[in-house]
Amino acid sequence: MKQLITILIIILILVAGFTFAPEYMKPAFLTELSETEHDDDDDDDDEVNTRQQLVDGKLQVRIEKETQQLAGIRTSLAENISVRSENRAFATVIDIKEIIDLRASYRNVAARREVINTNYRNASKLLEQLKVLHKEARNISARELQEAQSSWEEYRARMRAADVELQNIRATMVQKWNTEITDMALKDDSEIFNRLTQREEFIILVTLKAEQQLDPNTAFVFVNRIDDRMHARKAYFISPAPFSDSTLQGETYFFRTNADKIRIGMRLYVWLPGTGFTGQGVNIPEEAIVWYAGKPWAYVQVDDELFSRRSLIDAIEVSGSWLVKENFDVGEKVVTSGAQTLLSEEFKWAIPDEDDD
Amino acid sequence: MLSAIVRFSINFRGVVIAIATLLMVYSVYSLSRAGLDIFPEFSPNLIVVQTEASGYSTEQVEVLITRPIESALSGLIGIDHVRSESIQGLSIVNVYFDEDTDIYRNRQLVSERLAGLTNLLPEGVGPAVPVPMASSSATILTMGVTSDSKNLMELRSIVDWNLVPTILSVPGVADVNVFGGEIKQLQIQLDENKLHKYGLGINEVTEAAKQATGIFGTGFIENVNQRLTLSVTGLPDKKEELADVVIKHLDGINITLGDVANIEYGAEPAFGKGAIMGKEGVVLMVIGQYGANTLNVSNAVEEAIQGLDQIFAINNIQFHPTLFRPANYIERSVTSITGHLLVGGIFVVAVLVVFLFNFRTAFISVMAIPLSLLTAILILLEMGINLNIMVIGGLAIALGEVVDDAIIDTENIFRRLRQNRLLQNPLPMKDVVFNASMEVRGSVVYASFIVALVFLPLLHISGITGRLFQPLGTAYILSIMMSLLVALTVTPALCYIMLAKDELKNIEPPLMRFLQPLYAKSLSLISCAPYLIVFVTVLFCLAGLFVLPNVGGQFIPNLREGHYIVHTSSISGTSLEESIRVGNQLTKSFLEIEGVTSVSQWAGRAERGADTFGSHYSEFEVDLEYNLSGKQQQTVLDNIREILEEYPGIRFEAYNFLSERIYETISGYTTPIVVNIYGNDLNALDRKATEVAAVMQTIEGASGVQVQSSTDTPLLQIGLKLEKLKQHGLTPVEIVTSIKTAFEGLPVAKYQEDNRIFDVAVIFPGQKRETYEDVRQLLIKTANGSLLPLYEFADIRQLSGRYNILHQDGQRLQSITSHVVDRDIVSFMDELEEKILKEVQFSAELYPEFTGAAIEQAKAKEELIILSLLVLAVVLMLIYIAIRNLRHVFLMLLNLPFALVGGVIAVILTGSSLSVGSLVGFVTLFGITIRNSIMLVSHYQYLVDEEKHPWNLEVAIQGAQERLPSILMTALVTALAMLPIAIGSDNPGREIMGPMAAIIIGGLASSTILNLLIMPTVMLKFGKFSQTE
């Protein structure tokens, strides 16, 4: 019994010694017995060293030349291009058969009026002669005179009726097609209208979006059947349109454009001069863009090893690239391959540690 | 009882030998049919539920999918805890069950709950499925295909419809994760210009496409005589036919799908991409089933795909069948370790022959090795434990010891038989063998139990360490127990058969004749200065204990698998395209490293994979030349790490595969201090986490304080303007559907191509799904038929969204982690808790939890210490029972630090570090050391008790001399059996066992010196032997 008690005392001393010894005094491998501890010979779980540095108050990324090659970072020189900002709208190619019909009616009435006018003039002369004869010699009967008088009055009434009809047709045309087109249509030698009637050109109805307005000085816009600004053709201003597109809400205008490959009823894309950016700018290719914090950015190589991230302020997207007026200069080296790698390097601390979940 | 067994074995020696022979034959037969694996199953009792939610944002996935799944699974019997992660398009719920529950029953329970969940999930999501149960090492093979002439879509079709089904048909394959290539779809690629031209909306085309084709069953008709099945043919299944399907009749003209869209075979939006040797292709990862044997399955898969090389070559496809083959490592390890065991075995025989100078005794002793080990293997196999490197390790460290019992027994019987011959009236042989056998029972039985007992705590270590090392412990204990059984039965039987009638030459073995006088002289010399000796011994021990904490440690040593896994991660939101570009650059550099044979990469994730990696994440398989040594492999790894460290914009990890698997299996934060904040409001959680992190940073000793799960991912937020929608007669869902159709694609039907089934989907062409402007300009058809761009109806802004949302037990969670430097973790934790509760305001809906690896570790350690102490108590009692003297028990304990010092010196000399394997080495060492001491002390007791000698220097020297052969032999046998493994331990197959072996050899050397040279003097001076009553 005495011996057993002694053994137990020794055990207690051992327990106490092991339990109360400070953690760092215990052998390292014993503390690693638990499953949660492991050799951390990986990367940078706790300390993240980025190549970020502050140069002239701006955060920049320094990448050595060899590393640039390793990471496949490539740049291209920023070029100068000139554009103006544009708004996109839609248009419909409209059928001018109605105006041609009205023009035909107008011309028929005008021709008829011409005939009536001739008859009226003849009747007028005849009436004057008969009046003289009747007054001077009573060579003709009063009945004959009355007949000539009524004939003259009839022609006069018919002429007035034709005039009213002509006015009505014109008013109808103006109502729907506006004065410019009506005048063009009614003008005998309108070259434009001739091209329209010969289907060399079409009138298109351009509908602006609710918030859009057409610059009063707009002489032409660009249109295309497909959403391709580069190959769009010009359409020339005619006049504001008195009616709207059945499917779109907004101000409407008539433009005319070349009829090549365009058919009546087609819907077209329209590019109108915008109110924003106009003039020259720097072209930033799409592959240089990285989105961060709600804005598009691009990296510029500022010296052999330094890269700076710059915001694309008021940039506009023009078919596959972005155009900026500020923050970038022509001839600067814009990173076109590896921009995301640079962003990752700059925000290396934010890279998720997949094994700590 | 022991005497009855020994007597029975001598009397029925033929039966005993026959049983032993039968057991050996059967064991060899069983062994030949057993499979080999790398590690035991070490994965936790875990069911992973995965739900695909294509197109859903992180927040939507969390609320609509993860939460219902967590609710459905809550309350299942045996659940330990539930963790989940919701990311864009995917929900992963990890259900951890108690370790002692049946994994198949757990899976059944989970499946039953999930079955009732289908209706609760949003349309088009899921289903929620438990992912196939994979083996711990998971990957069986990684292979890949590339081609110069076939495109990625063709490659993927060949993989999905030819290669994968072939591999899946192999028993033991759980799944094949396919990365890269392009999944074929018959796509109705909308042309916005044409839609505009005809004034058609996306929805109208989608509806028409839904009516265009499909695969349907149409039933049957039946009359009194027959049943006739109805089958409709002619449904369009070619792109030309599909193009002719009418969408709308407009002004007398039919507008067809072909009028408004290009009908093309296109690629489904991808989750992942793959590249092999820097060339885009398809990478396949063959996943082994839970419990499947890597080597067997690997061979079966290779057999199944045999011959495909030629077919691929004919089709101009480059097949890479072994981008990674874990079985290579098993084969190399097994070849290496069996070779070393064989060499070790030869050493053992040589030692026995030299020491005993008698082939018969050597043969009897050696027979204990195969008998004990094979019987242990047989029992292990019957217990359902697969053979693996850890089991082999257990057998390897037992190799030197299983022979010990037999040596002690045989040596004693041999000696007593010889002495008996010299007697005037020799005793009957049976009695001599019996008595000699019983004489050493103390050393044999108690010592064996002690050796086995010290291993018991190893069987009770929890977690992954336990799962890894339990088979090793089991194999070791079983071998020791079997060797005890052999020593009690077969050894006496064999001794009687082979030695009793032999002419035993009464000559001492030459080595002993040479050693014993020298030994006696040394002992006399040493005994002159007992206090000096004790002082030197204590000094030596203290020096060793002082050095010990400074030896570096690691969980498991570097395994030399001839293969490395590299993970890279960029900022979230990085595209697959960019990940592959980065990968190609890295691949190019890796391939320039000498010794690297192939590099393959996958980025993102596979369709059914259990991982939640985004497109910013990549994994590389770097395969090395077959015969690279450990050092060369380390050089390759160093080079790889150098390149990765140099590469900008990535975080990385580079491991060997098995370490990677083990670390991947370890769950929970790996940092010692973790504060979890639970709550419902994600933004409030973020704010609170920042506050806690700020407080944490002010505490002395805090290092690397991090807020977890705070990573953002870029997103384009489309905020609908409801007023505008009302104005144009649109519903919100119409807009959402149009966006989804345009950019995500909407599958509308299936079509069949031979036996392959593909989706028919309406989508925008690839080049129209790239930019911010593409989204802004998406045309939406209003109620009055006009087409207006999306920005008319919505505010479109680029924002940062949450990359992931984590849950623990169904609650939203934000964690702050920290390391502790130069400070005691417990006091740090106390101060942290006090400060945070004082300085940070928490509400009922927002509360903290203080945890971390340190807490978990402390719990695990406490359990281990209690168990170790219990075992220590039992061991002390056993020693006491064996030698019956408390004073001697304590004197023997002097051995332990002395052995420890030898082990530490060995670690330092071999340049390795301490690992869990080293602990096993020390445990083994203590067992052997105590046994050797028992052998000596119990013999002294025998001399005093039985042979009536007085306790003095002569008796001390005589006893030591008589025990010299046994002690020296057992120590040498154990050490030499380990020697080949210890040499070059940084090579395949020896990484875990090597350090153990070195420690055992070192410790044995020091403890044997102590036992032979110092212990007799200590016993003489401080011991007290008197004749027991």
Per residue in B200-251, pLDDT (tens digit) is 888 888 888 888 777 778 888 888 888 888 888 777 777 788 888 888 877 6
Q: Choose one of A236, A257, A275: the last residue of a domain.
A: A275
- Is A15 part of any domain? no
Instruction: Say if residues A24 and A268 touch (Cβ distance below 8 Å).
Output: no
- 10 Å CB burial of residue A189 (0-12, 13-18, 19+) is exposed
- B 110-169 residues with CB < 8 A to A: none
Q: What is the nearest CA distance from A309 to chain B, expressed in angstroms?
A: 14
Q: How confident is the model at residue B711 (pLDDT cuts 50, 70, 90)?
A: low
Answer whether residue A239 is part of any domain.
Answer: yes
Query: Which of chain B's residues have a Cβ under 8 Å away from the Cβ of A231?
Result: none
Reported confidence tier of residue A84, pLDDT bands at 50, 70, 90? low
Contact A72 B711 (CB under 8 A): no
In a domain, A151, yes or no: yes
- Nearest Cα of chain A lies from the Cα of B271 at a distance, in angstroms, of 17
pLDDT at B670: 56
Cβ-contact B68, B82 below 8 angstroms: no
Give the angle B325-B331-B337 at the CA atoms, nearest 5°.
140
For residue B106, give the nearest of B48, B61, B159 by alpha carbon: B48
Q: Which residues of B touch A44 (CB under 8 A)?
A: 651
Angle at the Cα of B69 from the Cα atoms of B63 and B74, rounded to 5 degrees: 120
| Cβ <8 Å between A71 and B617 | no
Please name the member of A44, A296, A350 whose beta carbon is closest to the beta carbon of B571: A350
Summary mean pLDDT of chain A: 78
pLDDT at B778 over 60: yes
Question: Which candidate in B93, B468, B551, B571 is best for mutational testing of the A interface (most A CBs within 10 A)?
Answer: B571
Residue A143: CATH number of its domain: 1.20.58
Distance of CA B281 to the CA centre of its chain: 29
Residues of A in contact with B890 (CB under 8 A): 10
B857 Cβ under 8 Å from any chain A Cβ: yes
- Phi/psi-derived region of residue B463, left when phi > 0, alpha when psi is between -120 and 50, beta in every other case: left
Give A295's contacts in chain B (Cβ within 8 Å).
Answer: 798
Q: Are residues A132 and A169 in the same domain?
A: yes
Q: How far is CA B700 from the centre of its chain?
A: 36
For the cut 80, the answer to whether the pLDDT of residue B717 exceeds it is yes
B68 touches chain A (CB under 8 A): no
Separation of alpha carbons B792 and B734, rounded Å? 14
B697 has a chain A CB within 8 A of its CB:
no
Question: pLDDT tens digits for B1013-1026?
Answer: 888 888 888 877 77
Q: What is the pLDDT of residues B801-811, one digit of tens each?
A: 777 788 888 78
Statement to judge: residues A144 and A172 lie in one domain: yes
Is A40 contained in some domain? no
Most confident of A98-107, B351-360, B1013-1022: A98-107
Rounded to the nearest angstrom, the minimum Cα separation between B697 and chain A is 14
Q: Is B649 on the interface with A (CB under 8 A)?
A: yes
How much of chain B exceeds pLDDT 70, in percent?
93
pLDDT, tens digit, 9 for 90 and up, residues B809-868: 878 888 887 877 777 677 788 888 888 888 888 877 788 888 766 666 666 667 777 777
**Nearest chain B residue to A295, by CA:** B798
- Clarify whether residues A102 and A175 are in a common domain: yes
Chain B partners within 8 Å of A345 (Cβ): 648-649
Contact status, residue A339 vs residue A312, Cβ threshold 8 Å = no
- pLDDT tens for B390-406 read 888 788 778 777 887 88
- Where are any strands of DSSP class E within B257-312? 261-267, 272-276, 279-289
The burial class, CB within 10 Å (0-12 / 13-18 / 19+), for B223 is exposed
User: How many Å is the Cα radius of gyration of chain B?
Assistant: 36
Identify the weakest region by mean pLDDT among A209-213, A266-270, B886-890: A209-213
- CA proximity to B110, closest of B63, B49, B175, B174: B49
pLDDT at A19 over 70: no
User: How do residues A234-244 score in pLDDT, each as one tens digit?
Assistant: 888 888 888 87
CB contact under 8 A, B670 and A38: yes
- Shortest distance between the Cα of A239 and any Cα of chain B, in A, equals 23
Give helix B895-910 / helix B916-945 axis angle, nearest 10°.
Answer: 140
pLDDT tens track for B694-704: 888 888 888 77
**Is pLDDT above 70 for B938?**
yes
Q: Which of A249, A284, A351, A353 to probe the B interface (max B CBs under 10 A)?
A: A351
Contact criterion met (CB below 8 Å) for B968 and B1012: yes
- Chain B residues close to A249, C-beta within 8 Å: 786
- What pLDDT is recorded for position B504? 60
Whether residues A61 and A133 share a domain: the answer is no
Q: In a 3-state reduction of DSSP, which class is residue B257?
A: helix
Averaged pLDDT, B273-294: 86
Q: Residue B310 burial by CB count (10 A; 0-12/13-18/19+): exposed, middle or buried?
A: exposed
B464 touches chain A (CB under 8 A): yes
What domain range is A244 assigned to? 88-94+199-275
Query: Over the stretch A287-342, which tens digit does the pLDDT of each residue have?
Result: 888 888 778 889 999 888 889 988 887 777 766 678 888 888 888 899 998 899 89
Out of A27, A36, A296, name the one closest to residue B853 (CB): A36
Q: Do the Cβ atoms of A37 and B853 come within 8 Å?
A: yes
Total domains in the fold of chain A: 3
Asked if B569 lies within 8 A of A354 by C-beta distance, the reply is yes
The pLDDT assigned to A278 comes to: 63
Last residue of a domain, one of A185, A213, A234: A185
Residue A262 lies in a domain: yes
CB A312 within 8 A of CB A322: yes
Nearest beta carbon to residue B655 from set A42, A67, A72: A42
Tell me the chain B residues in contact with residue A26 when contact means C-beta distances shorter than 8 Å: 549
Of A3, A44, A226, the CB nearest to B880: A3
Q: Do residue B571 and residue A44 have CB atoms under 8 angstroms apart?
A: no
Query: Within this chain, do residues A224 and A258 fall inside the same structural domain, yes or no?
Result: yes
For residue A29, being part of any structural domain is answered with no
User: Which of A38, A296, A345 shows the shortest C-beta gap to B555?
Assistant: A38
Q: In sequence order, what E strands does B878-993 have?
A: none
For B555, the closest of A39, A71, A343 (CB atoms) is A39
Mutate to test the interface with B, among A24, A37, A74 (most CBs of B within 10 A): A37
Q: Are B9 and B493 in contact (CB under 8 A)?
A: yes
Q: For A31, which of B567, B575, B857 is closest by C-beta distance?
A: B857
* Cis ω before B127 (30° cut-off from 0): yes
Q: Do A227 and B876 touch (CB under 8 A)?
A: no
Residues A181 and A101 in one domain: yes
Answer whether residue A14 is part of any domain.
no
| Min distance B881 CA to chain A CA atoms (Å) | 12
Residue A231 sits in a domain whose CATH number is 2.40.30
pLDDT at position B12 over 60: yes
Residue A73 lies in a domain: yes
Both structure tokens of B724:
């505008």
Q: How far is B569 from chain A (nearest CA, A)?
A: 7
Which of the four pLDDT bands, split at 50, 70 and 90, describes residue A90? confident
CA-CA distance, B225 to B69, in Å (whole number)?
Answer: 51
Q: Do A352 and B711 touch (CB under 8 A)?
A: yes
Average pLDDT over chain B, rounded to an integer: 81
- Chain B residue numbers with beta carbons less than 8 Å from the beta carbon of A356 are 669-671, 708, 817
Query: In the listed set A250, A275, A300, which residue is the last one of a domain according to the structure?
Result: A275
Tell me the CATH number at A57: 2.40.420.20
Report the residue from B585, B649, B890 with minimal CB separation from A344.
B649
Interface A-B: count of C-beta contacts within 8 A: 268
Rounded-to-integer distance, Cα B513 and Cα B355, Å: 10
A294 with B663: Cβ contact below 8 A? no
pLDDT digits (tens, 9 = 90+) for B105-127: 888 888 888 888 877 788 777 78
Residues from chain B contacting residue A351 (CB–CB below 8 Å): 569-572, 616, 650-651, 711
Task: Output the CA–CA distances (angstroms, integers) from residue B458 to B276, B464, B842, B877, in the order listed.
Answer: 43, 12, 42, 20
Split at pLDDT 50, 70, 90, the class of A164 is very high
Residues A152, A164, single domain; the answer is yes
Mutual angle of helices B429-439 and B490-499, in 10-degree steps: 140
CA distance A3 to chain B (A): 7
A204/chain B closest Cα distance in angstroms = 14
Chain B residues with CB under 8 Å of A317 CB are 771-773
pLDDT 10s digits, B554-592: 656 677 888 888 888 888 888 888 899 889 889 988 988
Contact B582 A71 (CB under 8 A): yes
Across the interface, which of B650, B654, B825 has its CB nearest the CB of A23?
A: B825
Question: How big is chain A by its Cα radius of gyration, in Å?
Answer: 44
Residues A266 and A287 placed together within one structural domain of the fold:
no
The residue among B651, B796, B799, B813 with the most chain A CBs within 10 A of its CB, best to mutate, is: B651
**A26 vs B73 pLDDT, higher one:** B73
Residue B485 one-letter amino acid: L
pLDDT in tens, A43-80: 444 455 567 777 777 778 888 888 888 888 899 988 88
User: Comparing B588 with B137, which gets the higher pLDDT?
Assistant: B588
The answer to whether B709 contacts chain A (CB < 8 Å) is yes
Mean pLDDT calculated for residue range B645-671? 72
Alpha carbon distance B725, B788 (integer Å)? 11
Residue-level pLDDT at A40: 42
pLDDT exceeds 60 at position B3: yes
